[in-house]
Chain A
Amino acid sequence: MSASFSVVIPGSAAPDAPAPATPRHLPNRGGAVNPSADALRARFQGGILRVEVIWGETSVYVERLRLGEIVQWLHDDPSERYDYLSDVTAVEYRDPEQPIEVVWHLRSLPYRRFLRLKVELARDGKTPLEVPTVWSIYKGADWLERECYDMFGIRFVGHPDLRRILMWEQYREGFPLRKDFPLRGRFSRAEQLRQALAANPEARYSMEELTVAQAFEDLPEAMRKRLKGGERTGE
């Protein structure tokens, strides 16, 4: 975390933020552009590939390798303050020529803005399915990126613990939301069941992993004292 965390009280906003309003009569394409897009263009000229406005929402296509600094700037800059990462996902189109898109949904609570960042991964066989992680900026990206890796096979470089999250960890059939993945999976049902039963979750998630012993030292002093004294909560 580079910038100190500032608390935003719900309902309050920066003084120059627009009043909250329900958007009406939005055009399919075009319309008011999120001012952050222009600021991004001014600052990262080459890093911003193009900007689209669809149904009033701004999508900014950015350079794959510069994503990290762009998100960092959006998060830190006092005129942007995108402090909430609401989703990380990916899109694969049926047309095999079209690139796979990785999508970040950012929200600026103080300025009441919504920005969609996209990175296109060309399917030319040379571009790796890799994008930088934003975990160092938003801790909430941890599981979102794991899910995106699990379902699409996109590697988030720098993620501390990039494992499968929905499928079990020994899952070997591939990435289920890719277009080349058959709906029923690649293996026969019996083989799928055999592998699932052999997964042995108890061996993977041991009691040591689930125990609170390691977290105990991080608890506040008062709480540790109470727990050591045998006091229970909720009674």
Chain B
Amino acid sequence: MGLTARPSDNLARTDTASGSGESWVATRLDLLVNWGRAGSLWPMPFGTACCAIEFMATAASRFDLARFGMERMSFSPRQADVLICAGRVPFKLAPVLRRIWQQMPQPKWCISMGACASSGGMFDNYAVVQGIDTIIPVDVYVPGCPPRPEGLLYGILMLQEKVKRERMSDASLRNEMDPDPESGLYIPPQAIDELSEPFGNSVHQTRSGL
């Protein structure tokens, strides 16, 4: 899903000099809604390994996730906007992660934090999922092992940028992805095998063009 061009910033107009004594703002609804969504993303932390420690450091006072409207960790997926998957996901957790993603209401986004969540990392073995994008759709991949808090914050800013570029007229953004009822997968098996080959997932994840 490519990013559309960002609307120009002077879409909001204010007028206090019309003489009526009342001030007013005119803007596009898109801009207002996206501004509200991007500034109040509630993360659902799915921390399984050392990346979760770095995620906690990001949330703590020095790096202060609250600056981006994320101070409210949502430990229930039903009140969450962003799934932040921090750490490796073994196959045994795959149905759990899938279920948590399905429980989150739209609109929802996903950040894959760290090498293990994005590609399996160094754990190219029988037990670890080779990238959570084989289970759920991912919006932003944050590289690093683990990423520094600055890295995660940069990923969050990229996600906010993506949210700000969404158009309400594009209903397909909010479509829930239905897995294939036969296999339970939502991308074809060949694509999963290709993503999961050695170095596969880290090669195929390209930058989103920001």
Contact = CB atoms under 8 A, between A and B. Distances in A.
A193 B129 contact: yes
B77 to A, nearest CB: 15
Contact of B126 (A183, A198, A200): A183
Contact of A196 (B94, B99, B193): B94
Interface stretch (B47-55, B80-88, B157-165, B182-190): B182-190
Nearest to A181: B126
Interface string A141-185: 000000000000000000000000011100001001000011111
A197 B132 CA distance: 12
Most buried by A among B124, B126, B179, B185: B126
A178 B184 CA distance: 30
A182 B183 CA distance: 24
A227 interface: no
B190 A168 contact: no
Interface residues of B, number: 25
Given A167-B92, A183-B125, A201-B96, A188 B135 contact: no
The prevalent SS among residues of B at the interface is: helix
The prevalent SS among residues of A at the interface is: loop
Nearest to A190: B189
A196 B95 contact: yes
B185 A193 contact: yes
Contacts of B98: 197
Contacts, number: 67
A14 interface: no
A190 B184 CA distance: 10
Nearest to B190: A190
B112 interface: no
Interface string B101-135: 00000000000000000000000111101100011
> Which size bracket describes the interface of A in this complex?
20 to 34
A198 to B, nearest CB: 6
A190 B193 CA distance: 6
A185 B126 contact: yes
B189 A191 contact: yes
B154 interface: no
A176 B126 contact: yes
A39 to B, nearest CB: 42
A196 B125 contact: no
B138 interface: no
Contacts of B135: 193, 197
A189 interface: yes
Interface of B: 91-92, 94-96, 98-99, 124-127, 129-130, 134-135, 179, 183-185, 189-190, 192-193, 195-196
What 3 pairs between A and B have smallest CB-CB spacing? A190-B189, A185-B126, A189-B196
